[in-house]
A and B are shown apart, each in its own frame.
Chain A
Amino acid sequence: MLNFFADPQWIIPNIIAPFIFTAVALMFYGNVSNSLALYAVIGGGMMGMWGSTLYGAGFALSSDRWNGTLEYVLGTPSRLIWIVAGRSFSAAVLGLVNALAILLIVVLGFGANLGIVNPLAFLLALVLTLVSLSALGVLLCSSFLLTRSAQVMTNGLEMPLYVASGSMFPIALLPFWSQGFSFILGPTWGIDAMRYAAYASYTGMAFGYWADILVLILSTLAYLAVGFWLFIVVERRVRRDATLVEI
């Protein structure tokens, strides 16, 4: 977070894609009704969190590599995974700026009146989605440790999640064969839960709010478990092969 405040211009590349994607969605919607505006704000918020997390995770260690500070980070007694998890979480929080920007546009620009049916349930789903995205960031960061192409992978992984999680449209529209991939993504369940909490008559994936929350928590725990294991394996390997600071 301190890193961000030292050079806040970097929020722009992190959220510009989700911001413009959401703006295009608003243009598609035409005369923005309240329900569609809320759809855009929720989807835009999730995309912003993911865009920011992905860049946060992708650059969490790459920037240390480039700046020559990775050895010092490793020299501290803290486990590398906690350092990365903290960076990933703060990046996800910063991504909420996109939801805020979209919220201002739809309220001030389109005059939409956004009403959330169950604000507490919405907040719970939002926080859990934030944690889920951070966990996904940690999982990806472990594989980024192995490659010099973290930046390329970061660019390439942004849009698949926007599509697969149904951030702006129901996943039922996707080809049947691809929906299995959507179901193993925590954010798919998180965004569905947020829509359940926001709309009075939302049917979504038909499992209900609490089922979504349960799957969201379980998938987050699974990401963390695999992320921890990968970090231990990868960290040991790159230390042994002396490839950690290879740029």
Chain B
Amino acid sequence: MIHELSDWYPFRIFVSSANFAFRALFSWLRPEMWVTQLLALPLFQMAFFVYLARFVQPGGTSIAFVAVGNAMQVSAFASIFAICNLTSEEKWQGTLIPLISTPANRFPLFLGRSVYQIFNGMATIAVGFVYAKYVFGVDFSRADFLALALVILITSLTMTGFGLMLGSLGLFLRTAMIIANIFLFLGLLICGVNFPVSTLPTWVQPVSYAIPMTYGTTAARAAVQGANVVQLAPTLLGEIATGAGSIVAGYLLFIGFEALARRRGTLEEF
């Protein structure tokens, strides 16, 4: 079975692409720099919003809400920012044309490129939860850790799918950096990270529920308060559905934008 899998062409593309992405990352970024980033980003993002909440609502109960929401959302640096820039990075390095000219299926190719960022996103959220408990004093005494681990896994996977969808724009645009930056932080405003989605204007709420992170933050808060996997199932299914939808839409957009960029000769434009 293993032998058959390793012979399966899309799987070989996936493994090879993941291997390349991992080696490329650490030839560009020193491991100690990666660790610093992993430890610093969640701390400062969480600190900013927790202290802001403390200033606005002293003694309020929103500290745990804000800390847990930001611990989840900080993974967007990996799942949105890094993934969305995949195509642009290939452009800047001059490797997009050789890559696109291969007959390799685009789905395992770019899924392989993003695999490392799924683990990176999960590690970032885990660090965020450590800060939530030990720095910002969130009560985890009733938490269901199995459910929380599942929420972290599903959120990283689905948000990576969402990031891939946004990244497909990078094939056609001069850079996906602008989109990456917008969506990196937009979640803070519309995904129930700092305040409930219900407080947003009605017309914004459907947009919120089209992003997997909205379900992820809701499920994480429930898991911290003791909800088990069965109780979280409806929320997690919603998250999986939006993530799967993003992946399908992303793949179709990718194919479409690739054809458009080939026709207009903009593949190398940056």
Contacts and interface: CB of A to CB of B under 8 A. Distances in A.
Interface centre among B29, B33, B52, B194 (most CB of A within 10 A): B52
B84 to A, nearest CB: 12
B51 A173 contact: yes
Interface residues of B, number: 35
Interface centre among A21, A23, A160, A174 (most CB of B within 10 A): A21
B52 A25 contact: yes
Nearest to A43: B52
B47 to A, nearest CB: 5
A159 B51 contact: no
Nearest to B47: A163
Q: Decide if the interface of chain B is mainly helix, strand, loop or mixed.
A: helix
B23 to A, nearest CB: 16
A16 B55 CA distance: 23
Contacts of A153: 33
B266 interface: no
Contacts of A12: 178, 181-182
A6 interface: no
B194 A24 contact: yes
A110 to B, nearest CB: 13
B185 A28 contact: no
B189 A24 contact: yes
A207 interface: no
B54 A156 contact: no
B53 A28 contact: yes
A174 B51 contact: yes
Nearest to B183: A16
14 contacts: A13-B177, A13-B178, A13-B181, A16-B181, A16-B184, A24-B49, A24-B194, A29-B56, A149-B29, A149-B30, A152-B37, A160-B44, A162-B44, A168-B48
9 smallest CB-CB distances across A and B, nearest first, come from: A169-B55, A159-B44, A13-B181, A20-B185, A28-B56, A16-B181, A163-B47, A12-B178, A173-B51
